[in-house]
Chain A
């Protein structure tokens, strides 16, 4: 085991991200601490993906600051992300995982064993030698999860991990997310599937037009949304 994480909590302090004249994230103040998964919800374009990229450290805030365990500019050694459409390396499934292990600096002697474990964890053990780009969409998502977990992260960011998957594949991915969360990995996940948010979330962060409109424990959010936007969104109406 490696040293306990210094990645958490992740604190957003007035984080604003702009692209030219457009404000994508607007003065975000948010603390992501260890515990049950935090789920970001909100309509398309509300800034969920951008928030995840800032949390991962892939995107620097235009204004404000973000800290990991109280520090700025921490390299993403113990953070990992699964993008909405993960890029598959043009190699076998096992080689994709091995690549992630190597990139994370895991000693070569452990690669074979860890690769086997990770592929089993995501249910791809029987497809180890299959070319990654020939896997189905659901299998690719699971392989991307295995690659991310290979980094032994303290925080794992997932961007719409089940978008465009059928129910069976969605269930497989959600089961993995639960298992990961039980390993004491902080999961932060964006989704626009309210059912998925109900099934997985410990906390809900609702975004709209780049702003946080509501932050709450999952149970209270779904029982008693505090804002008009949240009520509209939960009612399944268009939030414009």
Chain B
């Protein structure tokens, strides 16, 4: 990015470096949310609907993991993906793939914990009906997940917000490499360290605008869906 531009100028001029950063941010965070949903939703539903020893402990743990410090996750993923680490052979460190993995670890507990709560509440409401319909376990789970879909969208948005906003994990495992692993948040950290506070603030506003846009999109979809299916 040119040195003396403000963020607004960058946006208005369609600065390709800025758009590449925005694209990478969205790619990394959305991929992480999709992966975390594929893991977290079934996991949350499983905890909500099964009884096993230590279940209370698992619930407390899931809720606590929602507050995982990104920098700790970043460090753990860094050590795992480093050439000297157990997964070093994949050569993922300092790539977008590593950033997706780190954010998936951060987001999965959020989606799993919120799914657990949502599905458990819905199960209390549906238990009699679904039991009376003689539905098997798989039928129950799919019915509950489908009927919880609007609340689960909120869980996904919470996960996306977390992923899009964090810098601690991806700056460690991505390395903030220009044109390759530099995202909105790591760029903001960099501009701050260069003392270019106006550009950092400008980029921050762009990031907030993007997060609002994604949420508005999801909200519109949710409202439209609810009108049809309530």
Contact = CB atoms under 8 A, between A and B. Distances in A.
Interface of A: 56, 58, 75-77, 80-81, 83, 86-92, 95, 99-100, 103-104, 129, 131-134, 151
B139 interface: yes
B147 A83 contact: no
Interface in B212-228: 226-228
Contacts of B125: 87
A77 B134 contact: yes
Contact of B147 (A81, A89, A104): A89
Nearest to A157: B132
A19 to B, nearest CB: 16
A92 B229 contact: yes
Contacts of A134: 230
Interface in B24-44: none
A92 B143 contact: no
B230 A83 contact: no
Contact of A87 (B128, B139, B148, B229): B128
Interface of B: 125-126, 128-129, 131-135, 139, 143, 147-150, 226-230
Nearest to A92: B229
Given A91-B230, A131-B226, 13 more contacts: A58-B128, A58-B132, A76-B132, A76-B134, A80-B132, A83-B128, A87-B125, A88-B230, A89-B126, A89-B129, A90-B229, A92-B229, A132-B230
5 contacts: A76-B134, A81-B128, A131-B228, A131-B230, A151-B133
B229 A91 contact: yes
B133 A103 contact: yes
A103 B134 contact: yes
Chain B contact residues: helix, strand, loop or mixed = helix
Contacts of A58: 128, 131-132
A204 B207 CA distance: 69
Nearest to A53: B128
A99 B143 contact: yes
Nearest to A135: B230
Nearest to A131: B230
B134 A95 contact: no
Given A92-B229, A99-B143, A104 B129 contact: no
A86 B128 CA distance: 9
Given A87-B125, A89-B147, A90-B147, A104 B229 contact: no
Contacts of A103: 133-135, 139
Contacts of B230: 88, 90-91, 131-134
A131 B227 contact: yes
Contacts of B132: 56, 58, 76, 80-81
Nearest to A133: B230
| 3 closest Cβ pairs, A-B complex | A131-B230, A133-B230, A103-B133
A86 B226 contact: no
B228 A83 contact: no
A91 B147 contact: yes
